[in-house]
Amino acid sequence: MLPSHKATASVSTILRTVGMSLPRFLAGAAVFTAAIALAPLLRTQTLTPPPLREQARLQQQWLSERLDRLLPALMRKHGIQMWVVMCREYNEDPVFLSMVSPTVFAARRRTILVFHDRGPEQGVERLALGGGSNGGLYTVYRDPELEGRELWGEGQWALLRKLIDSRKPATIGVNISHTHAFADGLSAGEREKLEEALGAAHRKRLVRAEGLAVDYISLRVPGMLPYFRSMMESAHALIRRAFSNEVITPGKTTNEDVVWWLRQRLDEMGYQTWFQPSVRVQKPGGREVRMLAEDAPVTIERGDVLHVDFGLTSMRLNTDTQHMGYVLQEGETEPPAGVRKALAQGNRLQDIVLSQLRTGRTGNQVLAASLQAMKAEGINGTVYSHPVGDHGHGAGPLIGLWDRQEGVPGRGDVAVLPDTWFSIELSVRTPVPEWNGKELFVGLEEDAAIDGEGRVTWVLRRQTEYHLVR
């Protein structure tokens, strides 16, 4: 197991990381932030999000750092002098919410965000044609002849043309991609209007901003990690409770009951989720049941092996976790040896994938190296890991799909970057002697962070023992 950080980290260190002064810490978020610092020690602690106002303050700080520190370097890396992100209300570009304040929930009529790189000395100019300044992070660009009215219709397109005429960018990046959904946010109608407004001279400067959009969404800033770690602590704690006698009475409780218990707890705690949790039940006889919408609920009984897939959403961040549970038979104090071996093999495959997850490698290269090492050790497994962060299935390199172990063209050809997060998702199938040699499926998923130096650690920790229902 790779440690996520030293458990002795001081509260002041955590505060410096998130940019919170000590007086504000004491006045507004003492209990929450202290819990973050102690999270690795409090293995039964379920953390709740801070007050909404404090959430917004932290998110605004993260946004400012992304725009100030990350965006200029990325525009130069991808050779884009001007990036135009445009969308209409309720038809937002996937990158939109990563570029606006936490108090903005949708585009305003039509919002056009323009990023113009004036070079290292002057930096990137940020302009908003439609919508507001997002707490001063953008300059609101308006037509002085329309003072007091919002931009609308042809006037908005004419103003964009005027802006581009004055800046004369060599390249104009737009979000169009056949490969990456995160970089394909320019709708067909908006593209037609944009090309019409630009005219022939500017149209030839249009380029696809695929790499820029993907990198911008995928990269993390350091202040995000303490809160993300607290989300992981809550995910682990809720799974521990769900796979215990607090929730499960053998012979009575169904997997559907467990799913809705998890959903209800999230709602009560102030979290959301980005997918419906699932609970899979495997019977000692080898019969496997997946929790799907069309399936009837399955009663959980003694000797069953349980699997959960569960994610939290908070402050525009998302977690993704899979753990295993076991319902003890009468007289048992631990799962059978064969069941324990299956989890140990899953842990070993986690070790392999983390050892191969290196910056500069593509997702397909990480996959191939992991599978080669896995097979050399005689493990029957599947690797399907992915980025996580702004989205549960995030922007960046795919490391396999469950049904594409030969590699993923396009999305698997993206390189792993420093300062990104990954959900290490995989599974193994192991014969269990106590089940007459029937295979047991063990699915594991834990979130990991790659720091600026390329070091890979678990965001919190991983599961190494079954959650037990007694």
Q: Are residues 27 and 158 in the same domain?
A: no
Q: Are residues 416 and 438 in the same domain?
A: yes
Query: Is 182 contained in some domain?
Result: yes
Q: Give me the mean pLDDT over the 169-180 stretch.
A: 98
User: What does the block give as tokens for 72?
Assistant: 């200029």
Greatest alpha-carbon span in the chain: 82
Q: Are residues 358 and 448 in the same domain?
A: yes
pLDDT tens-place string over residues 260-288? 999 999 999 999 999 999 999 999 975 65
pLDDT tens-place string over residues 318-373? 999 999 999 999 999 999 999 999 999 999 999 999 999 999 999 999 999 999 99
Q: Are residues 253 and 359 in the same domain?
A: yes
pLDDT score of 23 more than 50: no
Secondary structure of 124-166 as H, E, C letters:
EEEEEECCCCCCCCCEECCCHHHCCCCCCHHHHHHHHHHHHHH
Q: Are residues 33 and 92 in the same domain?
A: no
Taking CB atoms within 8 Å and a gap of at least 24, the contacts of 287-290 are 288/441, 289/255
Q: Are residues 271 and 402 in the same domain?
A: yes
Query: Is 281 contained in some domain?
Result: yes
Q: Are residues 188 and 229 in the same domain?
A: no
Q: Are residues 227 and 201 in the same domain?
A: no
Query: Is 105 contained in some domain?
Result: yes
Query: Is 64 contained in some domain?
Result: no
Q: Are residues 202 and 229 in the same domain?
A: no
**Structural domain range at position 365:** 218-469
User: What does the block give as tokens for 451?
Assistant: 């720091």
Q: Are residues 254 and 280 in the same domain?
A: yes
pLDDT tens-place string over residues 114-125? 999 999 999 999
Q: Are residues 244 and 184 in the same domain?
A: no
State how far the Cα of 22 lies from the Cα of 15, in Å rounded to an integer: 7
Q: Are residues 222 and 105 in the same domain?
A: no
Mean pLDDT, rounded, of the chain? 90
State how far the Cα of 426 lies from the Cα of 445, in Å rounded to an integer: 6
- Structural domain count, the chain: 3
Evaluate the CA torsion angle 96, 100, 102, 103 in order and state its sign: negative
CA 358 to chain centre: 19
State how far the Cα of 97 lies from the Cα of 49, in Å rounded to an integer: 20
| Residue 319 to residues 18, 62, 239, Cα–Cα distance (Å) | 19, 18, 13
List phi, psi (to 5°) of 94: -55, -25
Angle at 229 between CA 226 and CA 232, to 5 degrees: 160
Question: Which of 154, 189, 208 is the last residue in one of the domains?
Answer: 208
Query: Is 58 contained in some domain?
Result: no
Query: Is 163 contained in some domain?
Result: yes
What pTM does this model have?
Answer: 0.87
